[in-house]
Structure 1
Amino acid sequence: MGFFDFLLWMLWIYLVIVCIWIFIWIFIDIFRDHTLNGWAKALWIILLVVLPFLGAIIYLIARGGSMAKRQAQDAQAAAQANADYIRSVAGTSASSPATEIERAQGLLASGAITQEEFDALKAKALAG
């Protein structure tokens, strides 16, 4: 086996991996798409099983744009969920002293804390 044969085998292996990846991505997209009903999903799956390459090309031409939109929406939703989680675990420790004093003032006005407790919270916020 020469060097050229090795490169040719590497090319074929690469193409097989790419084809498998495309089929997996299309199957994932079919089941992730909420605009398709069950019959449409079944027809796409049957087309991909019976005529895999032709079905994949037709799917990418017909629904490729919506694939990208769904992926972008999922990425945006994941980023928003991540940001919400970070905000929830960050708590109020990263807030400014003015916000802490205002929150303590609200507690004092509602009668939840005494003047001494308010003064202690105010001193803690200013030292902070």
Structure 2
Amino acid sequence: MSFWENFWDIFWWFIYVYAFFAFLFALFVIIGDVFRDQELTGWWKAVWIVFLAFLPILSVLVYLIARGKGMAERTMERSRRNQEEADAYIRQVAAASPTEELSKAKALLDAGTISPDEFEKIKSSILV
């Protein structure tokens, strides 16, 4: 009987593959957290990496139990900081100052692209 003929063999194979990829994901998240943590000294980072290399399953479990809450807090803080930086960049790039908008409208008026009435509408909308 071949492997693919037995449903339970296939089922358990998928469970093992899922567990392996979940372990790898947790391992890489923990390694990233170890290197991003500003509170850990270089020696503690080295100790965690050595334990993760030689006792991976036990080290992952210990790290998640001992430092899991701090890991979540650091992730949320990093996420908040990234969002603030992105928002500041978007505001800086997207929003022109009122004087820039007014000078653009004046240039359009001088070029004859817009009428004086349209210029006054733009001016009033900028200054409001």
Query: Cα 1:19–1:127, aligned 2, differ >3 Å: closer, same or farther?
Result: closer
1:26 to 26, 30, 40: 30
Instruction: State the 1:127 CA deviation.
Output: 6.3
Deviation at 1:126, TM superposition (A): 2.2
* Distance in 1 between residues matched to 2:61 and 2:15, nearest whole Å: 21
Q: Does 1:125 align with 2:123?
A: yes
- Match for 1:11 among 15, 28, 31? 15
Q: Which whole-Å CA distance do the structure 2 matches of 1:9 and 1:127 have between them? A: 65
CA shift at 1:49, angstroms?
1.1
Q: TM-score, normalised by structure 1?
A: 0.74
* TM superposition outliers: structure 1 runs of 4+ over 2 Å: none
Aligned to 2:39, what secondary structure does the other structure show?
Answer: coil
Cα-to-partner distance string for 1:43-76 (whole Å, 9 max, x where unaligned): 1111111111111111111111110010001100
Equivalent pairs, count: 107
Deviation, structure 1 residue 77: 0.6
User: 1:85–1:127: structure 2 CA closer, same or farther, 3 Å change rule?
Assistant: closer
1:79-94 alignment, distance < 5 Å: 79-92=83-96
Q: Taking structure 2 as the reference length, what is the TM-score of the superposition? A: 0.74
1:2 CA displacement: 1.6
Distance in structure 1 (CA, Å) of the matches to 2:37 and 2:14: 34
SS at match of 1:5: helix
Identity %, equivalent residues: 34
User: What is the letter of the counterpart of residue 36 of structure 2?
Assistant: R
Using the alignment, how far apart are the partners of 1:33 and 1:126 within structure 2?
A: 51
Match for 1:65: what amino acid? K
Unaligned runs of 5+ in 1: 94-99, 105-119
List alignment gaps of at least 5 residues for structure 2: 101-115
Distance 1:72 1:127 in 2: 39
**CA RMSD between the two structures:** 2.6
